[in-house]
Amino acid sequence: MAEKELAATAIRWFDENARDLPWREPDVGAWAILVSEVMLQQTPVVRVLPAWRAWLARWPVPAALAADPPAEAIRMWGRLGYPRRALRLRECAVAIVERHGGQVPTQLDELLALPGVGTYTARAVAAFAYGQRHPVVDTNVRRLVARAVAGEPDAGPATRPADLVATAELLPVEPARAARASAAFMELGALVCVARAPRCVDCPLASMCAWRASGRTAPVGPTRRPQRYAGTDRQVRGMLLAVLRETTGPVHRDRLDLVWDDDAQRARALAGLVDDGLVEPVGEAYVLAGDRHLADRRIPGPRLAAGPEAGVDPV
């Protein structure tokens, strides 16, 4: 298989079939791309789109977010799920202001040094915002490369250094072209070379795919065991956080006690929110992180709250 041919084919397909996503527009800056990459972690595009637009409308530059307390980031995150990402984004904005004059840095090592920015996110920003040549490897890319190059049905549960090397070898030499190839690999993995039912007949790489040539079949069942949500600490955390997010000022513990009737699980979930820096205790009440200045307000007593059936998202 010719590696340059694989990238060129993927790019041609991407040019004709890529989804029209706002963070792919040519005039979108590095901050907006960074926000999109953080939001897209473990979250479908359809849910990210309105949240991304609202976030950028309120905080179009890192300095705007850095000037607000963490509680505002948590509130703005809403039901997007995994709200620790909101805290990491704000910490990232503060670091960008303090270390880089409010501009998202261009160098990979500086991006990696930002709070909450890992291997994937740093390379994604470097490639998609600054047109640099870096292997951008997420679950979709790992699966695509494992199939097309190694002839394996899946790439395993986590990114390894070997995955970065294998993907880098497929990239064109010219940086902007390499960044385009990275986006194309990701899109193919997300839309065509999917985990359970790959659409090989629609794949532009089918004729050069080692897995397809081997005649092997996809694994039976999901490649990863789906995570249970109902009744877990994650659900209880989400319900507690929803009450705090929708309240301006401290919330008395008695009111939070109405959210979930398992005392031990509720206490464990609340303690987890505190340990994660999302919530702060104020006497017998609780506030979102950064809202301690509201503690002098009257603390409302208990009232009926949403029951276990209320829809919340993982935290």
Contact 104, 34 (CB under 8 A): yes
Which candidate, 25, 60, 23, 28, places its Cα nearest to that of 38? 23
Active site residue 37: yes
Alpha helices in 134-192 (DSSP H): 139-145, 161-168, 175-191
DSSP state of 264: H
Please tell me whether residue 211 adopts helix, strand or coil conformation.
helix
Contact yes or no for 285/242 (Cβ under 8 A): no
What does R_g of the chain's alpha carbons equal in angstroms?
Answer: 22
Amino acid identity at 214: S
Q: How far apart are the first and last CA of the chain?
A: 43
Residue 32 CA to residue 91 CA, distance in Å, equals: 16
Cβ-contact 226, 273 below 8 angstroms: no
260: left (phi over 0), alpha (psi -120 to 50) or beta: beta
User: Pick the catalytic residue: 3, 37, 110, 309?
Assistant: 37
Can you read off the two tokens belonging to residue 9?
A: 């084919």
Residues 315, 82: Cα–Cα separation, whole Å: 4
Strand, coil or helix: 279: strand
Q: At which residue do the structure tokens 């629609």 appear?
A: 202
> Active-site positions?
37
